[in-house]
């Protein structure tokens, strides 16, 4: 009942002197619009950063960040209170519009602008059209290669025979122009010093190319250290003849051709480097000769001084001609 009475009174108020009230309302609206127009202002904000919503298949290759200028319109008090650092432009990249080798043409819209207070709108974006240098993203598996800080620090008779990694490969992801050129990923230097004489394990970091992502940044390395076996050639080792006392009484060598041989030894490089040619004996055994004449005899080579792990690899010639005569 009270509600009906209230509504009747409101209706009676509106009907009473209706045209005068309508004119007053119209004048009040004009006054509001005039005041609002006086309070409205335009202001320009420069160096507003532009960020891109990129699909996973594309990457932005521009080194410099994108920036634009914004012209904003609205209540001048709110514009004065606006923090320029809060303004952002974030635009979506459509992968279907991307063409490899060509700049991507990006048109900015007012709806891309964020950080605007209520009642403030964008009237201009400059520049509105941007050319963005995009590139396709690819994934590639490459092998790992070892680097050492100083292999020369190893003891003289030792060397690194190989390095194995777990896992043996890494998966790289990045711009096609960068990833395609990578043939292998190298480790940070693996430490080596003069105390290393046996194989060891070491967790080592990887040197991933800048601008490329990797599925891992460390691997376990198994470094195989072995004795360094090498070869050394000794030239002009004198070729001798040997006989038992009984043979000497019957025959004696008159001439031997050639007079010397070439010997190749195998062993630790440190030991071989210190050896002298007089530690080798090359000879012809004449004990089986029973009569004078010229004969082809097999050459024999032995080490006069024994060295660990040193062996005669080969020698030339394998035979020599000896002429013997009666005593």
Give pLDDT tens digits for 9-39: 655 655 666 666 666 666 666 655 555 555 5
Q: Strand (E) positions, 26-145? A: 40-53, 58-60, 66-75, 88-92, 104-107, 113-114, 121-126, 129-132, 134-145
Please state the pTM of the whole predicted model.
Answer: 0.61
Q: In CATH, what number does 139-227 get?
A: 2.170.120.40
Backbone dihedral angles phi then psi of residue 122, each to the nearest 5 degrees? -90, 125
pLDDT of 171-194, one tens digit each?
Answer: 999 999 999 999 999 999 999 988
Domain at 229-326, CATH class: mainly beta
The domains of the chain are located at 44-132, 139-227, 229-326
* Cβ atoms of residues 234 and 246 within 8 Å: no
pLDDT of 247-262, one tens digit each?
Answer: 767 888 999 999 999 9
Residue 27's Cβ-count burial label (10 Å; 0-12, 13-18, 19+) is exposed
Query: How far is residue 170's CA from residue 185's CA, in Å, rounded to a whole number?
Result: 8
Q: In CATH, what number does 44-132 get?
A: 2.170.120.30
Q: Can 139-227 and 229-326 be said to share one CATH topology? A: yes
Query: How far is residue 103's CA from residue 121's CA, in Å, rounded to a whole number?
Result: 30
Return the half-sphere exposure (C-beta side, CA atoms, 13 A cut-off) of residue 10.
6
């Amino acid at each position: 009942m009270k509600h009906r009475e209230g509504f009747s009174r409101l209706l009676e108020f509106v009907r009473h002197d209706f045209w005068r009230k309508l004119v007053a309302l119209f004048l009040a609206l004009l006054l509001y619009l005039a005041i609002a127009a006086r309070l409205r202002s335009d202001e320009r904000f420069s160096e507003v950063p532009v960020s891109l919503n990129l699909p996973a298949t594309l990457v932005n290759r521009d080194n410099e960040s994108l920036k634009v200028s914004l012209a904003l319109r609205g209540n001048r008090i709110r514009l004065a209170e606006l923090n320029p650092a809060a303004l952002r432009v974030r635009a979506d990249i459509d992968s279907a519009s991307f063409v490899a080798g060509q700049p991507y043409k990006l048109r900015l819209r007012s709806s891309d602008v964020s950080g605007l207070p209520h009642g403030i709108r964008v009237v201009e974006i400059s520049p509105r059209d941007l050319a963005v240098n995009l590139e396709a993203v690819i994934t590639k598996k490459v092998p790992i290669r070892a680097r050492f800080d100083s292999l020369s620090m190893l003891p003289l008779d030792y060397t690194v025979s190989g390095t194995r990694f777990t896992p043996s490969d890494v998966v790289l992801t990045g711009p096609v122009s960068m990833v395609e050129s990578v043939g292998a990923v190298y480790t940070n230097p693996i430490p080596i010093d003069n105390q290393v004489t046996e194989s060891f394990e070491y967790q080592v970091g990887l040197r991933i190319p800048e601008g490329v992502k990797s599925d891992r940044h460390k691997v376990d390395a198994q470094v195989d250290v072995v004795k360094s076996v090498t070869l050394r050639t000794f030239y002009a080792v004198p070729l001798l003849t040997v006989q038992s006392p009984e043979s000497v009484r019957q025959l004696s060598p008159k001439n031997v051709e050639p007079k010397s041989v070439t010997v190749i030894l195998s062993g630790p490089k440190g030991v071989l480097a210190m050896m002298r040619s007089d530690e080798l004996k090359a000879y012809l055994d004449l004990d089986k000769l029973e009569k004078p004449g010229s004969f082809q005899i097999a050459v024999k080579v032995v080490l006069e001084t024994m060295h660990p792990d040193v062996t005669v690899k080969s020698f030339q010639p394998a035979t020599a001609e000896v002429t013997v005569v009666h005593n």
